[in-house]
Amino acid sequence: MISGFEKLNEAKRFVQSKVPTFPDFLIVLGSGLSNLLNEIQVETEISYQDIPHVVQTSVEGHVSRLVVGKLGGVRVACMQGRLHFYEGLKMEEVVFPFRVFGMCGAKVFFLTNAAGALHPDMQPADLVLIKDHINLMGTNPLVGKNLDSLGTRFPDMTHLYDPELRGIVSQTAKKLAMELREGIYVGLHGPSYETPAEIRMYQILGGDVVGMSTVPEAIALHHMGKRVVAVSCVTNLAAGVSPTPLEHSEVSETAKKVQTKFCALVRESIQSMETKL
Ligand code: HPA
């Protein structure tokens, strides 16, 4: 049987055949945040379904592709769509595309997501720079045989969310006169939203926002020595913090509203990173 590492290598060879020089920067667009693609001068597009060994899921209305091109003059790769643990996948399947793009040469991963806010003083459309996470998904993408050629068995996670890159994103937000607070992202299995009692527990644990993505890929990328920075778009107040039950449409609506400021933050942060790194 073909090993996990051979699968990664096959996928890497395929992507390299389409994108021989992979950009340094990879941006992951969270749900509803795909407007950034309109700003990209597209060079190449790869549908995930064409990449060997990427698991196919059938979430309605989800387009899953990698777009390579220039954003504000900087060459980037953009992942539109990611795989989620709640789809019933194994963690290694969720992180597979990230590992492939890392192996192709991406160095900086700018992750974005939609998240629920744990504090009543936060509002839908707020942006939160993730300074750390609490993994409550019940497992870890590095479980199983370690891929020694990617990273060490017991990787340190102290600076998972790169302090220098966080500084650049904070500075960029200041320059754009945009409010950007820092917070702890609580990563949950999903797909049901949380109960109010669970949300109270996450508040006590020290969380600021909750969501169902980001944590697996952040761990797997840090394991590979990649630089990670992540921003949550608050799409709703979490269950019980909000007086009304959650609707998924609320998440999509708010994500739409926030696109302009969100796109500016990502574009200008990447420009600044390119000059500073
Ligand atoms: N909970 C979990 N995931 C989410 C939420 C939420 O309230 N909003 C957006 N993603």
pLDDT for 166-202, tens place per residue?
A: 999 999 999 999 999 999 999 999 999 999 999 999 9
Q: 114 in ligand 1 pocket by Cβ < 6 Å? A: yes
Give the model's pLDDT for residue 146. 96
pLDDT for position 242: 87
CA distances to 101, 169, 277 from 164, in Å = 22, 9, 9
pLDDT in the model for residue 59: 59
Kindly state the DSSP code that residue 247 receives in the 8-state scheme.
Answer: -
Active site members = 31, 62, 84, 86-87, 114, 212-213, 236, 248
Nearest CA to ligand 1 atom 3: 211
Evaluate: CB of 32 within 6 angstroms of ligand 1.
Answer: no
Average the pLDDT over 247-255 and give the result. Answer: 81
Note the pLDDT tens digit of each residue in 141-163.
Answer: 999 999 999 999 999 999 999 99
- Is pLDDT at 34 greater than 90 in this prediction? no
pTM of the model: 0.96
Dihedrals φ, ψ of 94, to 5°?
Answer: -65, -40
Q: Coil, strand, or helix at residue 38?
A: helix
Instruction: Say how many Å lie between the CA of residue 248 and the centre of ligand 1.
Output: 9
Separation of CA 207 and ligand 1 centre (Å): 13
**Among 29, 26, 158, residue whose Cα is nearest residue 103:** 26
Indicate whether 248 pLDDT > 90: no
pLDDT, mean of residues 260-276: 94
